[in-house]
Structures are given as structure tokens and as C-alpha cells.
Amino acid sequence: MNQLAILTAALALSISAPAFAHDLGDLEGDNSPNSMGIRMCTGPHMTVTQSRPQTPQDVERAHDVIDTLRRALAKYRDSRVALAEGYQIFLPTVPQEVYHFTDYSAAQQEYMGHFDPRFPGSLLYVKNSAGDYVLIGAMYSAPADATPDELDTLIPLSVAHWHAHTNICLPNGITLNDVLRGDVGASRIDEPGMLPVSSSAAAPAINQQLGFLADGRFGFTGKISDASTCEAAGGHLLKQAFGWMVHVYPFNGDDLKVAFGMSVPKAPTN
């Protein structure tokens, strides 16, 4: 069984809706029609863990994670090393604020409850002005049915906010395997979510690049967040897509609010 099939089977056991989703950032440009977003806010598409009172032990554990990641990620400053080791870029053709390079074997282990700070399931990169990938951190995952206490044992809830994507409308015909392969329906005709070709001269090019993300209704920051509206638009609603996730940014000093923050920090320059 290949890694994709293994991960799919693991997810089918851990979540009620057969879906996989990374938390992508906003599409680049002022007129971006949609994204599958990393806007860390509560609302119909995002559930965030509540903060707990901070203890000295929490602070020590958090710094241990940062120190571990700094050592483990050093070689991945060159994104080619990550690709050579089997990491795969999620939706590489879709402009994003943050690009996830995912090791599906490591991600599978996280979703089966095996957490090792040295081996995060995803590496996080941004693109610089030259179009090169710049490493900014990593993402850990946990099973969708993990309790707050269980998440707290992995990364303390007093320093970090684990998040999960909820109420996600995807067009009918877009499957788990499609999304994992980066297929957003761009090659299909009349895929729900595409812009009408008659709407503008740019519509065909936008559709070719973004597929069902083009018109802003579907996806992880889409306008649709309820089942009836989703069904009427030609889609199916995922009550929860994937499981719990947390980003860690270890390269911007020792401030825990930055390292475990909900905003993407400035990319390191060295």
C-alpha cells in the first residue's frame, strides 16, 4: 500500500468526513478570488483551542520544542533537500502565503498519535522576491478526535493555539485524492467554483490556475459554510477537514508569542 493510501485509511478512521486539508495562506495579489486560508481566527471555518494558564513547565517544554526544531530543520533551509528526502509541496501552482512541504509518512504517524518533535509532518516555507522558498518553520498534526488534554501534552495550550478546519464546502467531484495530488479541477469543464468564462477576459487563465478556488465560494475561507447552501451550489460539506494542527516558527528569537503565534512572522534573512 502506498503512502497516500495509508494516510487515506488512517484519516478515514479518525474523522467522520473523508477529507484532507492543509491550511493554506491567502492567494497573492489584491484581487485574489479565494484561498484555503491560514487566517487564524474563530468562525465557521476555524476552531481554535482555548488558552490555559501558563506554568513554568509549559515554558520549558515550549522552549524545548523550539530548540529541537532549530536543530532538526537546519538542513531544510535548502528546500531542495526537503524535496530530495520525499517532502511534497502541497498545491505548488496555487499562490499561497505559506507553502507546506509534507512528508506523508511522518504526517501519518502524527495522525496515528505518534508525536516526535524532531520529525514534523510538514515544513513551512514562504517565497521571497526572487521566487525562492525560504524556510520559516514547521507544522505538527494530531488526530481529529484528540482532546484538549491530549493536545496540551504535545504542545502546551498556554503557549500555542491548535486549530482545526471546519464546515468546508468542496465541489462535487473533488475528492481527497484530488486535493492531495494538487488537482483543483482546473482541467475540467464547468467545475463548480470556476469563474464564468464570459465574466472577463482573464477568467480562463484564472480558472486554469485556481480551479474551484476561483470564485470564492468554496474552500477553506470560502463564503459557504453550511450544508444546504453547499449542496445548492453543487458541493458537499465537510464538518471537519483533517484534524488538529499547530504551526511553530523557531527562527525569530525566543519570544514564545512569535514562535507559537497565529501570524506568519517575517522570514529570516540568514
Q: Tell me the per-residue pLDDT of 1-22, one tens digit each, with 9 for 90 and over.
A: 444 333 333 333 222 222 223 3
What is the band of 42 on the pLDDT scale with cuts at 50, 70, 90? low
Instruction: Quote the pLDDT of residue 17.
Output: 27
Q: Residues 173-188: what's their mean pLDDT?
A: 78
Whether 84 shows a pLDDT value over 50: the answer reads: yes
CA distance 111 to 142: 5
Whether 48 shows a pLDDT value over 90: the answer reads: yes
Count the alpha carbons within 13 Å of 147 in the hemisphere toward its beta carbon: 2
Q: Which helix (H) or strand (E) holds 210?
A: helix 203-210
Mean per-residue pLDDT of the chain: 82
Contact at 8 Å (CB) between 171 and 34? no
CA distance 209 to 3: 27
Q: Residues 130-144: what's their mean pLDDT?
A: 95
What is the band of 184 on the pLDDT scale with cuts at 50, 70, 90? confident
Strand pairing category for 133-142 and 235-248: antiparallel
Residue 145, amino acid: D
CA-closest candidate to residue 6, choices 109, 89, 84: 109
Q: How does pLDDT run across 200-212, given as a tens digit for each residue?
A: 898 888 888 888 8
Q: Rg for the chain (alpha carbons), in Å? A: 18
Instruction: Quote the pLDDT of residue 207.
Output: 87
3-state SS, residue 195: coil
CA distance 84 to 80: 6
- Greatest CA separation found in the chain? 60
Question: What is the sign, positive or negative, of the torsion defined by CA atoms of 52, 56, 62, 65?
Answer: negative
φ, ψ of residue 143 in degrees (nearest 5):
-55, 150
Instruction: Quote the pLDDT of residue 29.
Output: 33
Whether 178 shows a pLDDT value over 70: the answer reads: yes
For residue 147, what are the contacts with CB-CB under 8 A and spacing of at least 6?
none
